Every structure is written in C-alpha cells, then in structure tokens.
Amino acid sequence: MNDVIDRSRVVTLDPAVAPSRVRGGAPVPLPRPRKRASAARWLWVSVAALLGSAFLSICIGGQPSSLQDVWHAVATPDGSVMDVTIRELRWPRTVLAVCAGVCLGLAGTLVQGHTRNPVADPGLLGINQGAALAIVAATALAGELTALPQALLAFAGALAASVLVFMIGSAAQRGATPVTLVLAGAAVTALCAGLVSGIVLLNDQALDTLRFWQVGSLAARSDVVTVIWPFIVAGAVLAVLNIKPLNALALGADTAVSLGISVFKVRAAGIAAVTLLAGSAVTMAGPIAFAGLLVPHITRAMTGPDYRWLVPVSAITGATVLLLADTAGRVIARPGELSVGVVLAVVGAPFFVYLARRRRLATV
C-alpha cells in the first residue's frame, strides 16, 4: 500500500468552498452567506419600519387627526375627544398589533423551519383554527369568557391541532413530508372552520361575540395583553432557544443528529413555542391567516436563511405587517374599518398561489 499522500489532490474544506463538486481539479465556491453587516443593516431597517408603521397606526383612524393632535394627546392631554381616541383606543390597539404580529411572525418562522415547507404557517396547518374552535365551543357552552380562560383554551386547541396535524402527516409511508403536513393541515383547518361555523349558526345569542373568532380583528381587545404577556414571553424564549437547532435541521435530520442535536427534543420545543405563540395571537386578535406565511418569506429575502437573524427580524417584521394591514383596513373603509384578517387574506391569497407555483421552493 502506498503511504505517500499526493497533496496536489487534497482539497481543503473552506467554509466558502463547495464540497460536492470539483471542476478542473479546483473546488467550486458556494454562494457566500450574507455578511453579518448586511443582516445587521436589515435588522435596523426593520426596526425603523416598525417605528414608522406604529406612528401611522396612532395617527390614522376613522376620524382624521393631525400631527398636532397626536402631540397634544401625548404631551398635554385635556380630555378632548381626540385625546381620548388616541390615548385609549389607538395607542392600546397599536400595542396589541405589535404583540400579535410578533407572535405570528415567530410562529410562522418556526413552523416553516420545522416542517421545511415554504407554504406552511399556523393558519394553514390548522393551529389557529384549532385555537379558535376551543374558544368558540367553550363560549357557546359557558357564555362569555375572560381573557385568561380564553388564553388557556387557545393553547389547548392550538396544541391539539398541531399534534393532530403531525400525527396525520407522519402516518404516511414516507413519514412527515412537506406535502403530507400541508394536506393534513388543510384537512384539520377545514374541519375546525366548519365546526366553528356550525356552532355560530346554532347559537344565535352568541353570534355577534363568536363572529370575531371567524375572521380576526384588533378592535376592543387591548386588555388581553396584560393577562397573557407571560405566555408571549415564554413562547419568544423558546423560539430563541430553537435558533441553533433550526440551523442544524436545515442541513437535514441526519446531519443534525451527527452534530449532537436531539431532533425529538427540538421538535417538542418547537411545537411548544408555536402553541404558545399561535395561541396568544388567537387570544389577542382571533385566527388571522397568512401573516405567518408572508412574514418569513419577506424576512428571508432580507437576511437570508440564517435563523440567528431570521428569528429576530421575523418578530419585528410580523409586527410591522400587522400594523400596516390594520391601518390600511381603517383607511379603505373609513369611517368604518375592514378587519385586519380580511386585509391580510386579500394580500396573502395571491402570494400563496405564487409560492405554490415556484417548484424550487419545495423545501426551506
């Protein structure tokens, strides 16, 4: 056996070099990952966009207001109608939209990361509708509920729906794949939505109350944040803990195991995070669809696939998207308003079709 190593044929594995192909005896470089400075720049851009959209949300409503009105309400309120409108209606609604948007942005990113499916989000996988069904059924049986029971029911419904989707998706011969998970999610979503509609139609007295849980809205729900903020924080912490494992899972389950990642524990933590975040979002704003689908793609286009940047920027972008959709709904139907769920559905449905037609986005 020849013990002499031909060093001219040894290829050094540099991070910027592709290990899979060699052209003309020289390694072919992979596309370089986005530089840290570029991702950091997009982080600051998203923060600026969030501040701007929050400012618009406070300034724009059913009644027109000027910058002077806003400054007067913030600095020297005297109890006028506009002061009360800005301080007690628009400001709490803006805070609510930020919290719900953060939850939906993080939940959508986690769902797409764990399922490796670019068309997955809590709404399409039945998680939002599962939470809504639990609240609607309990409300029809026991009457109007306070914020804490609603939150607990939302978490229970979201957890049951997510477990059911993964069980159905994993029952296929090839296990849980992006296609089987989407099909299972569509089935669970249709089932839960049908049950919600049936309960609403059979319960005339609660029709006005339960209508909220079919579309979703940010109106008159600001008091919920003070009750469920611990669940939002817990879900966000679990999302941050998922960052490193998700980067490993993006290379494949086998690669993640070889790197010392317990796939089962990571998936369990991911399901817990999505349950807390999606359940909190449903409790605050109802089953808003498409936000969890749009936000990860917008963020991934800015920061790239690295979850160290994708997770925090998704949280900020989710809040921005929800604020802009809510503000647009107030402008389009002034002096009334369109629900934020309706606005996002009008924007999100064409985007979903666009993604479904892009074959190269079969996985993420």
Asked if residue 236 is part of any domain, the answer here is yes
pLDDT tens, per residue, the chain with 364 residues: 444 444 444 443 343 333 444 444 444 444 444 456 687 888 899 999 999 999 988 888 777 777 888 888 888 888 788 888 888 888 888 999 999 999 999 999 998 888 887 877 887 778 888 888 888 888 888 877 787 888 888 888 888 888 888 888 777 666 666 677 778 888 888 898 888 888 877 776 556 666 666 667 777 666 788 888 899 999 999 999 999 888 888 887 778 888 888 888 888 888 889 889 988 888 888 888 788 888 998 898 888 888 999 999 999 999 999 999 988 888 887 777 788 888 888 887 787 777 667 645 444 5
**Per-residue exposure over 195-232, b if at least 16 CB sit within 10 Å of its own CB, e if not:** ebeebbeeeeebeebbebbbbbbbbebbebbebbeebb
Q: By residue range, what is the domain housing residue 176?
A: 36-361
Residue pair 161/130 in contact (Cβ under 8 Å)? The answer is yes
pLDDT, position 255: 81
Residue pair 264/76 in contact (Cβ under 8 Å)? The answer is no
Phi and psi based region of residue 172 (left: phi greater than 0; alpha: psi -120 to 50; beta: remaining): beta
Asked if residue 94 is part of any domain, the answer here is yes
Asked if residue 204 is part of any domain, the answer here is yes
Asked if residue 90 is part of any domain, the answer here is yes
pLDDT, position 86: 83
Total number of domains in the chain: 1
Q: Which residues are CB-contacts of 40 (< 8 A; sequence separation ≥ 6)? A: 309
pTM of the model: 0.79
Asked if residue 6 is part of any domain, the answer here is no
Residue pair 149/226 in contact (Cβ under 8 Å)? The answer is no
Asked if residue 115 is part of any domain, the answer here is yes
Q: DSSP per residue over 77-144, as a string?
A: --S-HHHHHIIIIIHHHHHHHHHHHHHHHHHHHHHHHHHT-TT--TTTTTHHHHHHHHHHHHHHHH-S
We report the CATH number of the domain holding residue 280 as 1.10.3470.10
Phi and psi based region of residue 68 (left: phi greater than 0; alpha: psi -120 to 50; beta: remaining): alpha
Asked if residue 11 is part of any domain, the answer here is no
pLDDT, position 364: 55
pLDDT, position 214: 64
pLDDT, position 313: 94
Asked if residue 22 is part of any domain, the answer here is no
